[in-house]
Amino acid sequence: MKKLIASGAITVNSPQKSSDRKWTFMEKLFLGLTLPQYIGQALRNPFNWIIAIIFAVGIPIILGRFIFGLSWVTHSSNDYPWGLFLAFGLFGMVPLSSSGFLLGTACEVFGRHDLEPIERLGLLNGLLGYFFAVVFLLIDLGQPWRLPFPMVVSFGPAAVLFLVAWHVSTYLSVQIAEVSVSFFEWIGFPIGVRAIRKITLGLTVSGIILSTLHQGALGALFTYAPGKVHPLWYSSSFQWIHFFVSSIPGGLCMVITVSTIASKTMSWRFDQRFKDSLDRVTVSLAKGASMGLATYLTIKLMSIAHDNKWAYLTTGYGQWYLVEIMIGVIIPMTLFAYAIHHKKLPIIRFSALLVVLGIFLNRLNTALITFNWKLSEREIPHWREVAICVTVYTIYIVVYRFILYRLPIFYQWKTQEQYALAYAAKPETTILKDTEPALVFASKTEAKAFRNAETITS
Amino acid sequence: MQTKGIWLAGVLVVLFLAAVPDTSRGITVPDTVILNTQSKLYEPFTFNHAKHIQLTKECSNCHHHTTGTLVQDPNCVRCHRNSSETQEVSCKGCHQTDSFSATAMHEKDPKTYHKDKPSLKAAMHRNCLGCHENMKGPMGCQDCHQRTKEGDAFYYSGAYAPKNKPSKGEHNGH
Amino acid sequence: MKRRDFLKGCLIGGAAASLGAPSKSWAVGSFEGYPDAMGVLVDTTRCIGCRSCEAACNKEQKLPEPDVPFDDTSVFEEKRRTTEKAYTVVNRYETNDGQKPPYRKMQCNHCNEPGCLTSCFVNAYTKTKEGAVIYNGNVCVGCKTCMVACPFNIPAYSYSSAFDPLIKKCIFCYHTRLKFGKPPACVEICPQEALTFGLRSDLIKMGHERIRETPDRYIDHIYGEKEMGGTSWLYLSRVPDDQIGLDTTLGNEPVISNVKDFLGMVPMVLTIWPALFSGIHLLATRNKDHGDEHHNHSEQEDGKK
Ligand code: SF4
Ligand code: SF4
Ligand code: SF4
């Protein structure tokens, strides 16, 4: 993609292709490239080949799960009813998706406008994380077609999962509404944009409520199994607080990680505002995350002290617990403290990754690895189960990338007037990019010239 | 009084144990008794009463408090120290075949210790097996009563044994 | 204009949130079980491991063919649990007191306040007044939370079915027997009457009476009288309960007591959060823009374009 831009292809960032023509939908879809160009760049990317291989193996297995049933892909264990799908997919992905409500709250409620450049990434990360958590859930449910039952057919309102179902589904719609602003801009539907803007604050506040509750509720789900979750990962009064609080650094660090990967792989999609603010925003997010980690560590220790579980720390499980806390909390906290002070961004980004892994590890530990610690047999997931997880996660990445390539997440969408303005005022406002030599590229038509001009006017 | 109620019930109920003639009680001691006449899963069989009399000598080992011996069980003694010998000798006379049916449960007197009286089937199994264990008697089900065809089907055994071997690792729930 | 939008937004948000607010109250920890609840007293000192109860259950519940015959004692080599093909299993336990090893039948204990029922988000479980905990497969979504929530690891799942997988567990023979006042199939067949059927309240008295009459035969405890809020199926044992595979660390609180902390917090969040955060929003934006909300709002919009 970089090469193409260097060679004069332009990116879609406003409704106008040129001053007299709008982008058609297909052109938007192909990133403003011609079909051969688009296919060409896709084939050149080695990552796409890896994806293709994963899909070739994984998609038939996913289909197989629905044809042959769960016993074909899992060990169908009655002692470990929640396997990798839920431990990894649901319990792991949801806390990393708290970014939607965190950044929404920071920007819309606390008025932290300095975080706005990354707000949309936060929202999108939230939406996709939840969406794919639900996909994992659908794969794991015995009768996925009955998923709406708790809403319409039969209610079990005293069940924690009932709250989770309601909150996740309402929250998904809230997030769809929040992210749809970008989508409406992109397809050119200003009425929708304005309608959503009007209810932004309401959406954000309901987002806070729903998130607090269901992040906590996922933790509270484990209070159903006090004897099965290992005491070090369990606390009847603090379980939901653990899950909720750990989701805060989890979500923030996930945004840092995603923006890091994006800046390595799709920096062409960033506009100047995003590029300028990325480092500053990353530091702010890291500050938030370290505060979250500190709180998390405190309540973790508190719950151990509260139930006097120190003795468990000397067992094998205890050492594993310490490993998890080291990777996910203590090491990143230390690194954050150092790196924020010295503005060492690579270290911040690295420790954000550690936090993300730490959260995954924590949820896997709670739901799978140390679950049923009293039983002698440990659940080792079936290879097909692992394959499905990898595949779904890959689909998640592909969808993520697809959207980031297109919707105004890393860049700001220009309205028609702004486009005209920018074009008229070109000489003054032009900010020359390193792809500037593209300008001199021979152009056949006037439209082409416009497009070149557009490339550098961002 | 209590005894009479149970005796009546014993008569009303469809019987499991067939052979001891009520009228000749105390006069003739049967040498053999046909047991297990009502079961569908196991065949009736002939119980060698004479042999067991030889082996145990003491009637009250089986026929507690019915055959002239005084009540021995310390729990029973608490009330029945001076109770006279009861009329009923055969097991089925007191132990019901359907002790958990709604009527039977209704008739159980909640105030007495007899509430926990075992059913006929349990009384016999516990009595026989308990002693067989101590005396090293036969313990297997079919050592006493042969299983019927229906019984084989019920237990998925013999001719009805499962053919397909279980696939390893599945359905065992571990 | 702005203020109206703001209120509208809050209303919509609030409505969305309150949809998720369950209105049912959570009665916790006080339920003693239905007065007419039936139960079964499992006297493990009487059980001889004949597995007849397993066979009877298989037939009564129309379960599939077992892997091995029901008179095969090789199954005692390992510890089995309930599965989709067996609602009840008998296990043998080794003890070190030199006596013959005890056997224990296991099946759903039909808790007074069942964890499975509490955790089910479509209310597929019902505790009937007769004491049975039954399950309605027509609404089950297959989330398997009940399996996680059952402290006794009882519910199994028919993983092998692709299109209609369901929870499989003992239902106290409710539909065929208990409802009509009849004892369950397993109780009826037991040759030793290791299983005694009766009113739960009577069984508890009976159990204590057995312990009192023959103290050498039993430890002085009825498992299930109090455990996890009490269960309809109760166990007597010669050896400490943990030696026959009963979890003695569960405590007497029913599952719902663990969850009530969280459930109690939910209405609080639902009522306090909207006010709190809307308030913070007003403060945060007012400070910055000297009370000119409208100005602030449009600035925000511009920032986003
Ligand atoms: S034993 Fe388990 S499945 Fe049975 S009622 Fe109790 S919680 Fe439910
Ligand atoms: S009560 Fe019925 S369903 Fe439950 S184990 Fe006994 S026979 Fe099976
Ligand atoms: S039928 Fe009775 S004696 Fe036989 S295994 Fe079952 S509980 Fe034990």
Complex ipTM: 0.76
CB atoms within 10 A of CB A216: 26
Residues C100-120 have a mean pLDDT of 92
Nearest to C233 by CA among C103, C131, C162, C302: C131
Closest C-alpha residue for ligand 1 atom 5: C110
The answer to whether the Cβ–Cβ distance between A76 and B174 falls below 8 Å is no
B174 touches chain A (CB under 8 A): yes
* Residue to test with chain B: of A76, A79, A380, A385, most B Cβ within 10 A: A76
The answer to whether the Cβ–Cβ distance between C142 and A110 falls below 8 Å is no
SS3 percent helix, strand, coil of chain B, rounded to 5, is 45, 5, 50
CB A218 within 8 A of CB A247: no
CB A99 within 8 A of CB A254: yes
User: Which mutation among C87, C125, C133 tests ligand 1's pocket best, with the greatest number of atoms within 8 A of CB?
Assistant: C133
Sequence-distant contacts of A270-276: CB under 8 A, at least 24 apart: A270/A410, A270/A411, A271/A13, A271/A410, A271/A411, A271/A412, A271/A458, A272/A431, A272/A458, A273/A117, A273/A411, A273/A412, A274/A117, A274/A118, A274/A410, A274/A411
The answer to whether the Cβ–Cβ distance between C8 and A199 falls below 8 Å is yes
In degrees and rounded to multiples of 5, residue C126 shows phi and psi of -135, 135
Instruction: Pick left, alpha or beta for residue A188 (phi over 0 → left; psi -120 to 50 → alpha; otherwise beta).
Output: left
Instruction: Enumerate the β-bridge partners of residue C42.
Output: C195, C235
Q: How much distance in Å is there from the Cα of C184 to the middle of ligand 3?
A: 13
Q: How much distance in Å is there from the Cα of A456 to the middle of ligand 1?
A: 67
In chain C, which residue's Cα lies nearest the Cα of B76? C213
SS (H, E, C) A79-147: CCCCCHHHHHHHHHHCHHHCHHHHHHHHHHHCCCHHHHHHHHHHHHHHHHHHHHHHHHHHHHCCCHHHC
Instruction: Pick left, alpha or beta for residue B101 (phi over 0 → left; psi -120 to 50 → alpha; otherwise beta).
Output: beta
The whole-angstrom distance between C30's CA and the closest CA on chain B is 27
A-C C-beta contacts closer than 8 Å: 260
Neighbours of chain A (3+ CB pairs under 8 A): B, C
Side chain identity at residue C286, one-letter code: R
CATH class of A45-406: mainly alpha
The whole-angstrom distance between B1's CA and the closest CA on chain C is 23
Tokens of C100: 């013959």
CA distances from A20 to A11, A15, A384, A415, C67 (A): 17, 11, 53, 14, 76
Question: Which residue ranges form the domains of chain C, and what is each CATH number?
Answer: 37-254 (3.30.70.20)
CB C195 within 8 A of CB B125: no
Q: Is the pLDDT of residue C30 over 50?
A: no
Q: Does the beta carbon of C229 sit less than 6 angstroms from any atom of ligand 1?
A: no
Closest C-alpha residue for ligand 3 atom 1: C190
Q: Which of A267-271, B96-100, C98-102, C238-242 has the lowest mean pLDDT?
A: A267-271
Q: Does the beta carbon of C218 sit less than 6 angstroms from any atom of ligand 1?
A: no
A68 touches chain B (CB under 8 A): no
Sequence-distant contacts of B31-39: CB under 8 A, at least 24 apart: B35/B124, B35/B145, B36/B145, B38/B14, B38/B97, B39/B145
pLDDT score at A108: 79
Tokens of A161: 């999962």
Per-residue pLDDT of chain A (458 residues; tens, 9 = 90+): 555 555 555 566 666 555 566 666 666 666 666 777 777 777 778 888 888 888 888 888 888 888 887 878 777 688 888 888 888 888 988 888 888 888 888 887 787 778 878 888 888 898 898 889 888 888 888 888 887 777 767 777 677 888 888 888 888 888 888 888 778 777 777 777 777 777 778 888 888 888 888 888 888 888 888 888 888 888 877 888 888 898 989 999 999 999 888 888 877 777 777 888 888 888 888 888 988 899 899 888 888 888 778 888 888 888 888 888 888 898 998 998 888 888 888 898 899 999 999 999 999 888 888 888 877 777 778 888 888 888 999 899 888 888 888 777 777 766 655 555 555 544 443 343 333 333 333 333 334 434 444 333 33
Nearest to C106 by CA among C210, C37, C194, C219: C194
Q: Taking CB atoms and an 8 Å cutoff, what residues of chain A touch B169?
A: 75
CB C287 within 8 A of CB A215: no
Q: Is the pLDDT of residue C21 over 50?
A: no
Q: Does the beta carbon of C233 sit less than 6 angstroms from any atom of ligand 2?
A: no
A76 touches chain B (CB under 8 A): yes
Which residue bears the tokens 């093909």? C85
Nearest to A163 by CA among C73, C259, B119: C259
Contacts of A360 (CB under 8 A, 6+ apart): A88, A92, A96
Query: pLDDT band at B46, cuts 50/70/90?
Result: very high
Domain spans, chain A = 2-42+414-457, 45-406
The answer to whether the Cβ–Cβ distance between A161 and C259 falls below 8 Å is no
CA atoms within a 13 Å half-sphere pointing along the CA-CB vector of A137: 24
Span B63-78, pLDDT tens digits: 877 666 777 777 778 8
Q: Does the beta carbon of C82 sit less than 6 angstroms from any atom of ligand 2?
A: no
SS3 B153: helix
C248 touches chain B (CB under 8 A): no
Nearest to A103 by CA among A252, A231, A217: A252
Sequence length of chain C is: 305
The whole-angstrom distance between C65's CA and the closest CA on chain B is 7
CB A15 within 8 A of CB A415: yes
CB B124 within 8 A of CB B35: yes
The answer to whether the Cβ–Cβ distance between B171 and A75 falls below 8 Å is no
Nearest to B86 by CA among B63, B58, B65: B65
Tokens of C263: 């459930």
Instruction: Enumerate the β-bridge partners of residue C92.
Output: C103
Q: How far apart are CA A143 and CA C77, in angstroms?
A: 35
The whole-angstrom distance between B166's CA and the closest CA on chain A is 14
Nearest to C284 among A111, A204, A239 (CB): A111
CA A15, A18, A24, A26: dihedral to nearest 10 degrees?
Answer: -100
Q: How far apart are CA A101 and CA A110, in angstroms?
A: 12
Side chain identity at residue B60, one-letter code: S
Sign of the alpha-carbon torsion through B17, B19, B23, B25: negative
CB B61 within 8 A of CB B131: yes
Question: Which residue ranges form the domains of chain B, and what is each CATH number?
Answer: 29-155 (3.90.10.10)
pLDDT score at A217: 84
DSSP C82: -
CB A289 within 8 A of CB A355: yes
